[in-house]
Amino acid sequence: MSLALLERYRDRLPINPETPIITLGEGDTPLVRSQRLERELSCGELYFKLEGCNPTGSFKDRGMVMAVAKALEMGSNAIMCASTGNTSASAAAYGARFSLETMVIVPKRDVAAGKLAQAMACGARVVSVEGNFDEALQIVRALTEKYPITLVNSLNPFRLEGQKTAAYEIIDSLGGPPDYLCIPVGNAGNITAYWNGFSEYKREGGSGVSPRMMGFQAEGSAPIVTGRVVPTPKTVASAIRIGNPASWQKALIARDESGGLIDAVSDEQILEAYFMLAKCEGIFGEPASASSFAGLLKMARAGQDFTDKKVVCVITGTGLK
């Protein structure tokens, strides 16, 4: 049996003797080297971090286990989040397992049925609201300020602390950080968390280099790229259909400190990448996840040279939902 994520990275996480070391088997996900796409893109080394292998099928479990451990430590008995789907599935699973009442607020339209099924099967109270994710998050913020319920969206700092463990796993697998990290951007919590992980490693003297953080939003939901809130975000990648990211400013810091970029990819580019990953590599992630590879493809086609570079694309969630 491998150690629980919270145990393995205990020294780097906000864990004290009162924090329960809980687990549902999250983390320790595969970092798989490309068989074909790295040649097609003339990329030195290309890897995919398969976060869909987490217990509820997405990277959210890394942050949720930390946030729920802290909620338990503080004696909370209820958790709540707004979600485009995966966060609600994760909150519901950890809530069920660790006896917390779980409430999730989701947009009425276009949340993947499999994600809602997970939340309902785990006994969460699911409320759909007329409106999009950003409006659902406003409701959750207001309710958790007023009532003794722990907010488990990535505004909860413990979520980002847990999620940074993925950066450490990549460093451990490669023996150091990659040159580029390509990652989907929705609420921008994950890009922030990875950057925190890589920067902490560097500060501790781990390595002189840190990866350029390459974040990708969907064209119809690209507020960070355009610099404007998107009132009615649109994209086939429902997980990242977010018009006003909670970690917007932190994502800009990650981009600028790392010498990276945050760009947009179209729905056609996302779907092309989604099928290429499946057909060429046997990797079936959800459309939002494919935006990381879609972004890399876009850069390579625009002539950016990756011949002696190590690139990691984060595949944030399974395609099975």
Point out which residues bind ligand AN7 (CB under 6 A): 58, 83-87, 154, 184-190, 239-240, 286, 288-289, 316-317
Q: Choose between 4 and 288: whose C-beta lies nearer to ligand AN7.
A: 288
Contact present, 259 and 267 (Cβ < 8 Å): no
| Upper half-sphere CA count for residue 35 (Cβ side, 13 Å) | 8
Per-residue DSSP letters for 20-60?
A: ----SS-----EEE-SSHHHHTT-SEEEEEEGGGSTTSBTH
Contact present, 25 and 57 (Cβ < 8 Å): no
Per-residue DSSP letters for 106-139?
A: EESS---HHHHHHHHHTT-EEEEESS-HHHHHHH
Q: Choose between 240 and 313: whose C-beta lies nearer to ligand AN7.
A: 240
Q: Choose between 162 and 184: whose C-beta lies nearer to ligand AN7.
A: 184
Q: Choose between 85 and 177: whose C-beta lies nearer to ligand AN7.
A: 85
Task: Kindly state the smallest distance separating residue 305's Cβ from ligand AN7, in Å.
Answer: 27
Q: Mapping DSSP to helix (H, G, I), strand (E, B) and coil, where does residue 315 land? A: strand
Task: Kindly state the smallest distance separating residue 279's Cβ from ligand AN7, in Å.
Answer: 20
Task: Kindly state the smallest distance separating residue 201's Cβ from ligand AN7, in Å.
Answer: 20
Burial group, residue 76, by CB count within 10 angstroms (0-12, 13-18, 19+) = middle
Task: Kindly state the smallest distance separating residue 294's Cβ from ligand AN7, in Å.
Answer: 12
Q: Choose between 189 and 233: whose C-beta lies nearer to ligand AN7.
A: 189
Task: Kindly state the smallest distance separating residue 33's Cβ from ligand AN7, in Å.
Answer: 21
